[in-house]
Amino acid sequence: MTIDNSRNAWTGTGPEDIDEYLEACSEKSYPADRFIHARCSCDGDWFRLEADAEESAVKRTCVACGASLLMLDSAEY
Ligand SMILES: [Zn+2]
């Protein structure tokens, strides 16, 4: 796993890279110490991830079926 954050966005090479990204996002508010990798109801496990680091809000969209989900308490923001 490798994360390239040299440009304007973080780009990973594997699902485990999301853990490092979310850990970095959460360290200033509620540090995350456990990660469960998502699986859509269609059984898809590839997602487009949109994150707002200032609001600590994250939305995932399943690449296979297009279903979107605001993660954790993101709907509050
Ligand atoms: Zn899906």
Range of the domain at 17: 3-76
Residue with tokens 């600590």: 56
**Residue of 63 and 29 predicted with greater confidence:** 63
CA of 56 to the centre of ligand 1 (A): 23
Distance 70 CA to ligand 1 centre (A): 14
Phi, psi of 70 (to 5 degrees): -80, 125
Q: What is the pLDDT of residues 34-76, one digit of tens each?
A: 888 889 999 999 999 898 888 788 899 999 999 999 987 888 8
What DSSP state is assigned to residue 74?
Answer: G
Tell me how far the alpha carbon of residue 24 lies from the centroid of ligand 1, in angstroms.
26
Overall number of domains in the chain: 1
Indicate if the pLDDT at residue 28 is higher than 70: yes
How many whole angstroms from 6 Cα to the centroid of ligand 1?
Answer: 30
**CB neighbour burial string for 4-20, b if at least 16 within 10 angstroms, e if fewer:** eeeeeebebeeeebbee
Q: How confident is the model at residue 1 (pLDDT cuts 50, 70, 90)?
A: low
CA of 49 to the centre of ligand 1 (A): 13
Residue 61 phi, psi (nearest 5)? -130, 125
- pLDDT given at position 18: 83
CA distance 42 to 76: 26
Cα(74) to centroid of ligand 1, in Å? 19
Is the pLDDT at 29 greater than 90? The verdict is: no
